[in-house]
Amino acid sequence: MRNSNEDGERDFSIELDSNQHLTRFSTATNSAHSGVLIEGTLGKLQHALFVEPEILEVKGSCGVLRLNLRVSEIAVKDSANKRNGGE
Each residue's pLDDT, cut to its tens digit, for the chain (87 residues) gives 454 467 888 888 887 778 777 788 776 565 566 677 888 999 999 999 999 999 999 999 999 999 999 988 988 887 555 655 655
Contacts with 41 (C-beta within 8 Å, 6 or more apart), sequence order? 9, 10, 11, 12, 60, 62
Neighbours of 58 (CB within 10 A): 17
Residue boundaries of the structural domains of the chain? 9-83
pLDDT at 81: 56
pLDDT at 76: 84
Task: Output the DSSP codes for 70-87.
Answer: -GGG---HHHHHHHTT--
pLDDT at 64: 94
DSSP three-state, residue 27 = coil
**Whether the model pTM is above 0.85:** no
